Chains A and B, each alone.
Chain A
Amino acid sequence: MQFMNHMTLGQYVPADSFVHRLDPRCKILATVALLAGVFLVTDLRLFPGWALLLVAVSALAKIPLSMVLRSARPVVFLVLITALIHVFLTKGDPLWRWGIFTITAEGVVMASRMALRLLFLVLFAGLLTLTTSPMELSDGLERLFAPLTPLGFPAHDLAMMMTIALRFIPTLLDETDRIMKAQLARGADLDRGNIVRRLRAFIPVLVPLFVIVFQRADDLATAMEARGYRGGKGRSRLNPLHWRARDGLALASVVALVVAGAAADRWLT
């Protein structure tokens, strides 16, 4: 009864590839550009382009395509629901009718567009997390948001919080697993009865978990202070980020592709 072992978090796949070596800021910005692109392009005829790009980047990152596709698994259900809603609720030329259900040509187009958009959105974001370690990611975000610090935006603190949260997710899953087992051993019944009963049954798991979390947070804060942590001011880095020519080139080509896609879309419609 290993309750949590089906959950894998942080899907970073270490590899030595061009994409892995890019500056995280470049990858974050490129991903943002791509996400915008996915929404700017409406013509279905242009969508194979996204697929092509996805295959090309995966190959460049030396990550098997199957692994990239797997990152979309959690949203498959959402995509299906979205597609179904659009198929049945879009008004237009009826193609097929059965009782209260009507499928229109516009509905089919709309459903494929929405489903594919969602999929590409998740897949491109997946590429980012597959090729960028959580540490790099939070470093990159911190630097990207750093210009906002004078305006009172706590870029460093948010990045630190993100790093810590990511670091402790596996630990907390282990703790949860252990406490659940301990209470099972005391005869707790965690998976019988209706919702209310089940929620009540989880109190013996949640209370110890909260106690442990606060304890840990307290210990961590003390440990950080003992080592002289006092926020981001004047803090140097072990691995400073370097923006190289290849980062500029990579970002420029992605942006160019997105602009080209948006322009082609205008022209086609």
Chain B
Amino acid sequence: MSLILRNVSHSYHKGTPLETAALRGVSLDVEPGQWVAVVGHTGSGKSTLAQHLNALLLPDAGEITVDGLKAAKGSKDLREIRRRVGLVFQYPEQQLFAESVDEEMAFGPRNWGLPPDQIGPAVDQALALVDLADLPRDRSPFALSGGQKRRLAIASVLSVRPSYLVLDEPTAGLDSRGRRGLMTLIDGLRREGIAVVQVTHDLELALAYCDRICVLERGRALFWGTPQVVVEQLLDRPVQGLSLPEVLAFARDLREKGFNVPLSWDPYEVAHALAKEVG
């Protein structure tokens, strides 16, 4: 039971002079309960990758399977894949349309044909997951605050109980408090057994929170592994448009000067070691 990508390639405007390869042979595994980050610069193919994970886009070459269901042209499982893999686009609050919170939340479950008596509990559960259980259900989604709107939009995807949740730049436009709140919320989802794939350009955020990181550059998956592994590879080979976390760069420079500090991106860890070194 996992989401597997093998050598996935995809081009836009295929067969025209505008043809551009967005993904070139990307491989990736997402296990249940894992929090995976896909990190890359603008144009690295990360949004294209996100849309492949729930079969909105299909690969030109390579293979994608979700819990054994194949995402390929003509496959009968595409709808089921889309239910199992929830996809939250960038600025998801822009997709709100209904007259009330209840209507908005019931949209997904109704589309997937959930029996009416199960819709209510599913909605309650999803709203609780994003910390909006107390929201008046007859309120218009457009009357909510920015942060609430975003959480409501995420909940509307969670209401069909997906096994995987893909978030495209979920923290875009949030302040640092909102960002931390959202990360805590995602961490809670993982505890519920939902695997999370977070697409972001923020390497520091990915290092701080995620279990596995995939670094994309011009459609190629350059590095793939735990934060520690990815950081070691990043120090060897810089990635276009992706700067090292400042603390990590600082620790590296210190080591070059002969200080015995760990190659870490955690400011406290580095500061602690440095204090010991200096005495």
Contacts and interface: CB of A to CB of B under 8 A. Distances in A.
B17 to A, nearest CB: 12
A195 interface: no
Interface in B82-105: 82-83, 86-87, 89, 92, 94-98
B108 A186 contact: yes
B156 interface: yes
A178 interface: yes
Contact of B97 (A5, A184, A208): A208
Interface residues of A, number: 22
Given A182-B92, A183-B95, A187-B82, A211 B111 contact: no
Contact of A207 (B82, B92, B97, B157): B97
B157 A211 contact: no
A157 interface: no
Nearest to A215: B94
A2 B92 CA distance: 19
B51 interface: yes
Nearest to B153: A182
A211 B142 contact: yes
Contacts of B96: 208
B61 interface: no
A185 interface: yes
Nearest to B113: A187
B250 interface: no
Interface string B53-67: 010111000000000
Contacts of B12: 2, 5
B160 A211 contact: no
A184 B54 CA distance: 10
A189 interface: yes
Contacts of B112: 187
Interface in A140-195: 178-179, 181-189
Interface in A1-35: 1-2, 5
A43 to B, nearest CB: 42
A182 B160 contact: no
A185 B86 contact: yes
A206 to B, nearest CB: 8
A186 B156 contact: yes
Contact of B107 (A2, A181, A204, A212): A204
A187 B56 contact: no
B257 interface: no
A1 B56 contact: yes
Contacts of A204: 95, 97-98, 107
A203 interface: yes
B260 to A, nearest CB: 49
B94 A188 contact: no
Given A2-B12, A5-B12, A187-B83, A212 B94 contact: yes
Nearest to B114: A187
Interface of B: 12-13, 51, 54, 56-58, 79, 82-83, 86-87, 89, 92, 94-98, 107-108, 111-112, 142, 156-157, 160
B94 A211 contact: yes
A13 to B, nearest CB: 13
A2 B96 CA distance: 21
Nearest to A1: B56
B125 to A, nearest CB: 17
A70 to B, nearest CB: 14
Q: Which 8 A-B pairs have the closest CB atoms?
A: A187-B111, A207-B97, A185-B87, A182-B95, A186-B108, A182-B89, A204-B97, A187-B112
A269 B11 CA distance: 58
29 contacts: A1-B57, A2-B57, A5-B13, A179-B94, A181-B51, A181-B56, A182-B94, A182-B95, A183-B95, A184-B82, A185-B54, A185-B56, A185-B86, A185-B157, A186-B95, A186-B108, A186-B111, A186-B157, A187-B107, A187-B108, A187-B112, A204-B95, A204-B97, A204-B98, A205-B97, A206-B97, A208-B97, A211-B94, A211-B142
Contacts of A182: 87, 89, 92, 94-95
A63 to B, nearest CB: 16
A1 B96 CA distance: 22
A212 B112 CA distance: 27
Contacts of A185: 54, 56, 82, 86-87, 89, 157
Contacts of B82: 184-185, 187
Interface in A194-240: 203-208, 211-212
Contacts of B87: 182, 185
B140 to A, nearest CB: 11
B160 A187 contact: yes
B111 A189 contact: yes
Contacts of A184: 56, 82
